[in-house]
Amino acid sequence: MGQQFGRRSWAEPWKIKMVEPLVTTTRGQRERALLEAGFNTFLLRSDDVYIDLLTDSGTSAMSDRQWAGMMLGDEAYAGSRNYYHLEAAVQQYYGYTHVLPTHQGRGAEHLISRVAIKPGQFVPGNMYFTTTRAHQELAGGTFVDVIIDEAHDPASSHPFKGDIDIAKLDALVAREGADRIAYISLAGTVNMAGGQPVSMANIKALRAWSDRHGIKLYLDATRLAENAFFIQEREPGYASHSVAQILREFCGYSDGAWMSAKKDSLVNIGGWLAVNDFALFEELRNLIVLYEGLHTYGGLAGRDMEALAIGIAESVQDDHMRSRIGQVRYLGELLEDWGIPIVQPVGGHAVFLDAKAFYPHLRQEEFPAQVLAAELYLDSGIRSMERGIASAGRDPKTGEHHVPKLELTRLTIPRRVYTQAHMDVVAESVKSVWDARAQARGLRMTYEPKYLRFFQARFERL
Ligand SMILES: *Cc1c(COP(=O)(O)O)cnc(C)c1O
């Protein structure tokens, strides 16, 4: 796949100005730290972590320009100039009319779910995301997965595994009626499917479908800039479009979006909610003062909004995206070369290890992806994350585990933080855990929180 970039290598379009020393630990220290953390990598202290691939959320390195922007914070309670810079950046690059800052993505998800979902309605989406579905359910909605079947198959090399299957939407309307559908919830790329993109053809078809049924189409824009890169690379007709052009066109087919700016936008905190309809905006603008803050800061400091406005512009640069996704792919290709089972094709923000294929001797109720994350940490101090049955949680109506087809451990690459040599070290550690796979034992959950259990759950070895 490296050939797709041409015969010349990509390289980072920046050089390093400041460094942060890494921590190394002994195996004995890691054993103790993991026991203390209840085998949950979310409960480790970062002081006990060597290479931190827990998440790409809020972990990016900001540029010198963004840091300079931090010094230009206008901390006025109301009408901060940084808010207007952020508003202009969202309008320019994403194309929406009305913009509200939020403290992060889930703040925006909370507001749109409360306003756009009536209790008892259904919310079809392209595979669930943890916080998105939780807010849709808290608002009285029922999430329905309408992603194409290929998304649930780690070995399928479909180029747009994030696409929605329109036949599944038709079936939902036939069963429940269009008035019981709150809106379509479309995310690109699809995190839980392995960072897989949605095609432009699919969102065009969804727009036409939505118009036919009078149903709104809202985007989870968290990794849409990465999604745009895949369209440029894979979709006929888009090779000569810039990432920025593709992003703008894609958003143009939707009615609004929520954003976790902690991902694509290269900041450590922030989010936004943007819609085109003024009446909806008025409702959201009113509600935001209860939960986030005044509509010109939404839980962010002025300096955060400035860094975000600059980060948005940096995030859509083609050379940035080429090295960003190139690095993720570099790691994926190393693992593939060693025959280690990963989700195909390699997605935008992470390499996903197929834990079922690592540990065929473990039942899914023994949390194989959680085991794999624990083993990787023990081997080298590298921190990854479970994206399997623990993340999937329970059905709020039946109380049973949601049992996802995909049982994955995610190696998430922060943007502009680690080097290619770090990726080599990561790959070698995964290889050593792969070689020792037959010895791994399952886990039992000993503490289970009610909401988003994967964050705080505790486990012990069987
Ligand atoms: C991270 C994320 C969110 C939630 O955003 P936060 O900033 O973590 O609150 C929503 N959707 C997707 C796809 C995400 O990856």
Looking at residue 8, what is its pLDDT?
81
CB contact at 8 A, 346 and 196: no
C-alpha distances in Å from residue 135, one per residue of 110, 127, 130: 6, 15, 9
Q: Which secondary-structure segment (H or E) carries 231?
A: helix 224-234
Are 188 and 285 contained in the same domain?
Answer: yes
Q: Dihedral angle at the C-alpha atoms of 167, 205, 183, 145, nearest 10 degrees?
A: 40
> Which CATH number characterizes residue 135's domain?
3.40.640.10
Q: Which of 296, 315, 334 is the last residue of a domain?
A: 315
Looking at residue 345, what is its pLDDT?
95
Domain that holds residue 299: 64-315
Asked if the structure places residue 332 within a domain, the reply is: yes
pLDDT tens digits, one per residue of 363-388: 999 999 999 999 999 999 999 999 99
Are 106 and 223 contained in the same domain?
Answer: yes
Strand order in the sheet with 122-125: 98-102, 271-275, 256-260, 216-220, 183-187, 122-125, 142-145
Q: For residue 383, give the nearest of 340, 422, 332, 438 by alpha carbon.
A: 422
Are 281 and 404 contained in the same domain?
Answer: no
Looking at residue 71, what is its pLDDT?
98
Q: Which of 275, 294, 315 is the last residue of a domain?
A: 315
| Domains held by the chain: number | 2
Asked if the structure places residue 373 within a domain, the reply is: yes
Looking at residue 396, what is its pLDDT?
86
Q: How far is the CA of 17 from the centre of ligand 1 (A)?
A: 29
Are 82 and 224 contained in the same domain?
Answer: yes
Q: Which bin fits 99, alpha (ψ -120 to 50), beta or left (φ > 0)? A: beta
For the Cβ of 190 lying below 6 angstroms from any atom of ligand 1, the answer is: no
Q: For residue 137, give the nearest of 147, 123, 152, 116 by alpha carbon.
A: 123
Active site residues per annotation: 77, 129-130, 220, 263, 387, 454
CB contact at 8 A, 390 and 445: yes
For the Cβ of 57 lying below 6 angstroms from any atom of ligand 1, the answer is: yes
Which ligand 1 atom sits closest to the C-alpha of 104?
7
Contacts of 415 (CB under 8 A, 6+ apart): 56, 59, 60, 61, 266, 324
Q: Identity (one letter) of the amino acid at 59?
A: T
Q: Identity (one letter) of the amino acid at 406?
A: L
Q: What residue ranges of the chain have pLDDT lower than 50?
A: 1-3
C-alpha distances in Å from residue 39, one per residue of 21, 84, 368: 25, 44, 12
For the Cβ of 80 lying below 6 angstroms from any atom of ligand 1, the answer is: no
Helix (H, G, I), strand (E, B) or coil at 381: coil
DSSP 57: S
Tokens representing 304?
A: 């955060």
Spatial distance between the Cα atoms of 167 and 222, rounded to a whole number of angstroms: 26
> Which CATH number characterizes residue 372's domain?
3.90.1150.10
Are 182 and 34 contained in the same domain?
Answer: no
pLDDT tens digits, one per residue of 177-219: 999 999 999 999 999 899 999 999 999 999 999 999 999 999 9
Residue nearest to atom 14 of ligand 1 (CA): 222
For the Cβ of 132 lying below 6 angstroms from any atom of ligand 1, the answer is: yes
